């Protein structure tokens, strides 16, 4: 285990009627002007909007709405939200939705408090924002675990880069699994795979030897696999949904990363694919992971072999480490097909003329990956994924 310092600032309210039970007390601690941020309007159709507006009005808040936050939120949308927050003297942001809404608001929170361009500040000048509008999150779509950290994935359409910016931590997050029950099944599946990917990307970092963080991680992976299978056969199973919601949060609340240098090369590659194609994140990861893992096999065999046995239940009897490592990738690939996720970019509808070389050339190369990929190798991975 590497040396670490662990501190976790987000209060989590998990369970049935978590908003009704806990939001009034949280609202009593914040200022008058509240920004209610959400996406395309599904919260108006499923009743969550009315419930939250009722709680905001009961608390006597003045509400400014920031709507239309898209999947793969853009930097232009961040700037729109920051202007709205400044113009209305927003004291507090309540982000309602999934990872896109929650990520967007982290950066809105920071951009509203500075005249500097946040993208330039963080990516060029290597600075960090110092002022933030306080925030709370209400999770209605799980998978990203975005409510658990201060990182945000934002697409800069001008620069053709989809990458991380750093904003504020949420003061609290409300996770009521019942709020996620109206998610389309395709979104449940892709969100679950994103959560599984977070776990695998953390596991595949260093140290490579067995450690407590990885053993907890193995349990999270088993839980995601088991409960997604239950959900596929029984979509309205609230117990299974509750487990998936919490496993997604565990993947990004720092617990699995304690003492770890993480990998996340698959995520960086998919992010740039998204910058060029605006594709579904979880689906892109499902296509990339098995191919990338075949390329990582020589260096990653010990970890892959452990995953085969401890997560996927492969019988180790009479098998070499390399055979077990291959069995892990086979099991992962089979699960992807079982879940109905795509296995090629063509199945995702990604155009044949996509500039894969530009994607590879602009992908962040992660230091934590056990194989130090070159851009030519990443291009080869992308071409195999077609």
In this model, does residue 3 exceed pLDDT 90?
no
Query: CA torsion 115→121→122→128, rounded to 10°?
Result: -60
**How far apart, in whole angstroms, are the C-alpha atoms of residue 193 and residue 267?**
12
Nearest to 148 by CA among 169, 128, 134, 131: 169
Tell me what pLDDT residue 109 has.
98
Q: Is residue 4 part of a domain?
A: no
Please tell me the predicted confidence (pLDDT) of residue 7: 83
- Verify that 196 and 306 share a domain, yes or no: yes
Residue 319 burial by Cβ neighbours in a 10 Å radius (0-12, 13-18, 19+): middle
Note the pLDDT tens digit of each residue in 223-266: 999 999 999 999 999 999 999 999 999 999 999 999 999 999 99
Q: Tens digits of per-residue pLDDT, 69-118?
A: 999 999 999 999 999 999 999 999 999 999 999 999 999 999 999 999 99
User: In which band, very low, low, confident or very high, does the pLDDT at 348 lie, cut at 50, 70 and 90?
Assistant: very high
Average pLDDT over residues 192-218: 96
d(CA 348, CA 342): 6
- What was the pLDDT predicted at 306? 98
Kindly state whether residues 163 and 302 are assigned to the same domain. Answer: no
Same domain for 23 and 141: yes
Tell me the pLDDT tens digit for each residue of 116-144.
999 999 999 999 999 999 999 999 999 99
- Please answer whether residues 46 and 53 qualify as being in contact, where contact means their C-beta atoms are separated by less than 8 angstroms: no
Helices (H) and strands (E) in the chain, counts: 15, 8
Above 80 in pLDDT, residue 51?
A: yes
**Same domain assignment for residues 17 and 83:** yes
**Size of the chain, expressed as the number of residues it contains:** 386
Count CB atoms within 10 A of the CB of residue 352. Answer: 7
In terms of domains, do 200 and 68 share one? Answer: no
Which of the listed residues 145, 180, 215 is the one where a domain comes to its end? 180
Percentage, residues of the chain above pLDDT 70: 100
- Single out the residue in 180, 209, 238 at which a domain terminates: 180
Task: Judge whether 65 lies within some domain.
Answer: yes
- Give residue 331's Cα distance to chain centre: 23
What percentage of the chain carries pLDDT values higher than 90?
A: 97
CA-to-CA distance for 321 and 374, rounded, in angstroms? 26
Q: Per-residue confidence at 27, pLDDT binned at 50, 70, 90?
A: very high
DSSP code at position 374: -
**Residues 141, 258: one domain?**
no
Would the pLDDT of 1 be above 80?
no
State whether residue 173 is helix, strand or coil.
Answer: strand
How far is it, in rounded angstroms, from Cα 133 to Cα 30?
Answer: 10
Domain coverage including residue 37: 11-180
* Distance of alpha carbon 51 from alpha carbon 43, whole angstroms: 10
**What's the pLDDT at 218?**
98
Among 43, 53, 204, 282, which residue's Cα sits nearest to residue 139?
43
Domain containing residue 33: CATH number? 3.40.50.1970
Q: Is residue 2 part of a domain?
A: no
Report yes or no on 1 lying in a domain.
no
Residue 91 maps to a domain: yes
Instruction: Round to whole Å and give the CA distance between 173 and 169.
Output: 10
Q: Is residue 5 part of a domain?
A: no
Residues 345 and 361 in one domain: yes
319 and 214 housed in the same domain = yes
Whether 133 and 198 map to the same domain: the answer is no
Residue 6 lies in a domain: no
Confidence of residue 186 (pLDDT cuts 50, 70, 90): very high
**Pair 149, 189 in one domain:** no
**For the whole prediction, is pTM greater than 0.85?**
yes
- Cα(310)–Cα(348) distance, integer angstroms: 31
Q: What is the CATH number of the domain that holds 350?
A: 1.20.1090.10
- The total number of structural domains that make up the chain: 2
Give the pLDDT band (50/70/90) at residue 153. Answer: very high
Q: Report whether 132 contacts 167 (CB < 8 A).
A: yes
End position of a domain, from candidates 126, 160, 180: 180
Residue 83 lies in a domain: yes
| Residue 122 shares a structural domain with residue 27 | yes
Check residue 5 and give its pLDDT. 84
Q: How many CB atoms lie within 10 A of CB 351?
A: 10
Give Cα 140 distance to the centre of its chain.
Answer: 14
Is residue 128 located within the same domain as residue 157?
Answer: yes
- Residue 261 carries which DSSP code? B
Please report how the helices 265-277 and 185-203 are oriented relative to each other, as an axis angle in degrees rounded to 10.
140
């Amino acid at each position: 285990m590497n040396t670490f310092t662990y501190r976790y600032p987000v209060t989590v309210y998990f369970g049935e009627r978590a908003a009704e039970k806990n939001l009034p007390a949280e609202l009593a601690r914040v200022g008058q002007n509240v920004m209610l941020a959400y996406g395309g309007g599904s919260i108006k159709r499923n009743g969550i909007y009315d419930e939250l507006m009722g709680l905001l009005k009961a608390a006597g808040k003045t509400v400014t709405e920031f709507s239309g936050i898209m999947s793969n939120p853009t930097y232009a949308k961040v700037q729109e939200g920051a202007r709205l927050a400044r113009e209305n003297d927003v004291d507090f942001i309540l982000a309602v939705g999934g990872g896109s809404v929650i990520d967007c608001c982290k950066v809105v929170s920071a951009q509203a408090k500075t005249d500097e361009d946040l993208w330039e500040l963080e990516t060029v000048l290597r600075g960090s924002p110092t002022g933030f509008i306080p925030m709370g999150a209400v999770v209605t779509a799980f998978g990203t675990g975005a409510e658990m950290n201060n990182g945000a994935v934002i697409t800069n359409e001008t620069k053709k880069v989809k990458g991380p910016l750093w904003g504020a931590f949420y003061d609290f997050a409300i996770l009521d699994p019942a709020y996620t029950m109206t998610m389309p099944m395709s979104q449940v599946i892709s969100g679950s795979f994103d959560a599984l990917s977070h776990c695998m990307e953390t596991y595949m970092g260093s140290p490579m030897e067995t450690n407590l963080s990885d053993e907890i991680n193995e349990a999270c992976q088993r839980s995601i696999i088991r409960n997604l299978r239950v959900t596929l056969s029984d979509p309205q199973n609230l117990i299974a949904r509750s487990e998936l919601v919490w496993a997604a949060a565990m993947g990004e609340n720092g617990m699995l990363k304690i003492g770890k240098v993480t990998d996340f090369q698959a995520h960086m590659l998919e992010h740039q694919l998204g910058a060029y194609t605006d594709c579904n994140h979880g689906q892109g990861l499902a296509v990339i992971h098995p191919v990338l893992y075949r390329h990582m096999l020589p260096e990653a065999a010990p970890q892959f072999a452990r995953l085969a046995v401890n997560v996927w239940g492969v019988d180790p009897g009479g098998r070499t480490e390399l055979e077990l490592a291959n069995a892990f990738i086979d099991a992962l690939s089979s699960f992807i097909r079982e879940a109905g996720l795509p296995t090629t970019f063509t199945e995702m509808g990604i155009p044949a003329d996509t500039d894969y070389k530009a994607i590879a050339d602009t992908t962040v190369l992660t230091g934590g990956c056990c194989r130090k990929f070159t851009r030519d190798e990443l291009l080869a991975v992308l071409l195999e994924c077609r």
